[in-house]
Structure 1
């Protein structure tokens, strides 16, 4: 049975792949190589597989290249949109902060005016009370005088029989003079009392108007503070998520940046308003909260420049190998494939600690960044920096090449935290979500 199957298979191969001989002739002899049907089948299958693999690989590379180009263009558009949005928010935040400070100054001035008016009102009230007290004394004196005048009249009637009449005339003249003096003083006191009462009513009406203006101003301040607080929340949360996505603690990171801060602008100083011995001003507390968020954004900006959230290759490229185990060994970085000479850029501010040949890495550049982070750029064709040089994020440091143990032109990019390799795509994706 097996022999018949083999015979039929051989006959089938003979029909499609007849045995051939390849003659090799020299000056002295002639030799030939016999190509059996089975050998021709194997050669034909190998050639077919090679052609199919070439077609498939070319198609994959073309699709990968097109997809990478579209992804990078979309990322650049998203980055531009977010930067424009962040700039607009920053401008609006500055305007709102200026309006808040101006409103706070107007509010403080209005409070001072109200305080002065209240003091003036209290003084007027005291004067009114003093005049009322004086008026009561004058009235009591007038009543006594009136009684004395009546007594004097009675005495005058008793003295009517006085033949000379001198004593009665003198007493009547003194009584009339006293009454006129008291009446004049009473009239002046009553006029002054009416004037003080009118001033007090005006002060109360003006105080009510000022209180209404202050309430409207407070409502406007609340709306301004609310918009500023929402803008700060929208700006700070994506930055918090970016650093957490990279495995970094935002609070510890900001504390470290604040301790080593030496740039322009500096942390924002909290506002200080006089409370006149009373409770803390809630508006000042809200304004200081907004300033604290602005300070946090400023520190995040500094930290983002010093951490490798950028990509080392800006031109068109394709990912050829990611971070992880490969052929039983740890591939400690991410590979970016592109033509030789493609520019390579620093992904964060730092200092070059190594720039030279390094065994399997070929031409290698190492950059030390803040927070114990180091980046490595391997297999370079040329290097444009030297050891000890300080570089900035986005600065060109070399060109892509094929040096060292490499199978083609590409960049081997590593990120190490405390000497331990981490996945570079964690930082790159975190940065793309924000920038």
Structure 2
């Protein structure tokens, strides 16, 4: 008491003693507020005010961080889809150019084939003309020789110096006609050779152009293949991060999406050979397989509870794991009573009501063997058997059951075993 009196005396100058009068109808009382009591009161008010500021700051930071994370995820998803669309459009354009070049190359080959046929025909005609000309020349020489011999014999027998009618002019005219035909055939052959050479050059240019287009198309296929391969890895990480086997997930999803049908179009063949066709088909088929895997992953992700159960401002007050020597099988998110609670994935409500320490509890059964629980609710908006969608409001935050204050107890279970819900919440960051 002496110590208290000394403290009060020393603080009297800073905080004079105050009296709080309490007056009723017939009596008047007062309460003495000594300096030490005033200091304790002021300190308590300061601590409460400071704690309020810190808690508000945490709530604001959590809200801002949650918004930024969702915005970044949406921007990344939009950028990837836009880039994939660009690559697909460019790939289709290059494929169209390659097909057009292939058609031009085929036309050029047909023209070369026709010109070669004309060249062979003209060459054959030339050879026939040359053969005929040689025969005529031989016959002409033999006829002239025989004529001269006959004239000499007749002149010697008759003593007549007059020569027989000269037929050399007729043979000269026939020889000129044959020479003209031979030159014409030779000119046609030279012209056909020139056209064939030009066609070969055009075919070579088209071949180079086609090869360049195919190389560019192959490059685009490689880029698309790399893009989809990079996109599959985060999806694969999502399932591994929550303790699921990706191969088992893909197998389960494909069992429900296994329809096939026809009719089938005729098989096409490449003029570049089986090796080039095999290489292009291999990449295209690998891209199709990877895209199918990525699409299957997306179907599976839509069936997982990856969303946030609370979208308004809240504070994490307890995590998954040991707490005070006992296992805490979920996470606690504290907020005002009546804060909306949303389903984190598509599923069917299997429980909606009181459940011992959980208070008002909702259980939702999702596909792939997952289940979510929402405890301590003040209000339940669904009933057993209802089908709910991701983001649908199912209840309101409350303080029912074993609870020290208004909050949501959120659990995720896989095949009956409780797992850390934060692994599902954080896994959504790896999707895009």
TM-score by length of 2: 0.78
Structure 2 residue 352 is matched with structure 1 residue 374: no
Q: Answer whether contact 2:241 2:427 (CA < 8 A) is retained.
A: yes
Mean alpha-carbon deviation: is it higher for 417-426 or for 350-359? 350-359
Q: Say if 1:59 and 1:374 are closer, same or farther in 2 by CA, change over 3 A.
A: farther
Stretches of 4+ moved more than 6 A in 1? 10-17, 50-58, 163-168
What's the counterpart of residue 129 of structure 1? Answer: 120
Structure 2 residue 294 is matched with structure 1 residue 297: yes
Q: Answer whether contact 2:334 2:408 (CA < 8 A) is retained.
A: yes
1:254-333 equivalence runs, <5 A: 254-261=250-257, 274-275=269-270, 278-279=274-275, 280-333=277-330
Once the 2 structures are TM-superposed, how far is the Cα of residue 332 of structure 1 from its aligned partner? Answer: 1.3
Structure 2 residue 98 is matched with structure 1 residue 107: yes
Paired with 2:107 and 2:118, the residues of 1 have a C-alpha distance of 16
Q: Answer whether contact 2:336 2:406 (CA < 8 A) is retained.
A: yes
Q: Answer whether contact 2:222 2:283 (CA < 8 A) is retained.
A: no
Structure 2 residue 200 is matched with structure 1 residue 204: yes
Q: Say if 1:430 and 1:365 are closer, same or farther in 2 by CA, change over 3 A.
A: same
Q: Say if 1:247 and 1:156 are closer, same or farther in 2 by CA, change over 3 A.
A: same
Structure 2 residue 142 is matched with structure 1 residue 145: no
Mean alpha-carbon deviation: is it higher for 335-344 or for 350-359? 350-359
Mean alpha-carbon deviation: is it higher for 212-221 or for 354-363? 212-221
What are the superposed Cα offsets for residues 58-100 of structure 1, whole Å, 9 maximum, x if unpaired? Answer: 8567535523431342232132123123213212312321221
Q: Answer whether contact 1:86 1:235 (CA < 8 A) is retained.
A: no
What's the counterpart of residue 179 of structure 1? Answer: 175
Once the 2 structures are TM-superposed, how far is the Cα of residue 310 of structure 1 from its aligned partner? Answer: 1.5
Q: Indicate the SS of the match to 2:352.
A: strand
Structure 2 residue 337 is matched with structure 1 residue 340: yes
What's the counterpart of residue 33 of structure 2? Answer: none
Once the 2 structures are TM-superposed, how far is the Cα of residue 348 of structure 1 from its aligned partner? Answer: 0.9
Paired with 2:108 and 2:293, the residues of 1 have a C-alpha distance of 42
1:70-81 equivalence runs, <5 A: 70-81=61-72
What is the root-mean-square deviation of aligned Cα atoms in Å? 3.6
Paired with 1:62 and 1:14, the residues of 2 have a C-alpha distance of 35
Once the 2 structures are TM-superposed, how far is the Cα of residue 345 of structure 1 from its aligned partner? Answer: 0.7
What's the counterpart of residue 241 of structure 1? Answer: 237
TM-score by length of 1: 0.78
Q: Answer whether contact 1:69 1:317 (CA < 8 A) is retained.
A: no
Q: Which runs of 5 or more structure 1 residues have no equivalent in the other structure?
A: 1-9, 18-43, 264-268
Q: Answer whether contact 2:377 2:398 (CA < 8 A) is retained.
A: yes
What's the counterpart of residue 24 of structure 2? Answer: none
Paired with 2:49 and 2:328, the residues of 1 have a C-alpha distance of 25
Q: Answer whether contact 1:152 1:171 (CA < 8 A) is retained.
A: no
Once the 2 structures are TM-superposed, how far is the Cα of residue 427 of structure 1 from its aligned partner? Answer: 0.9
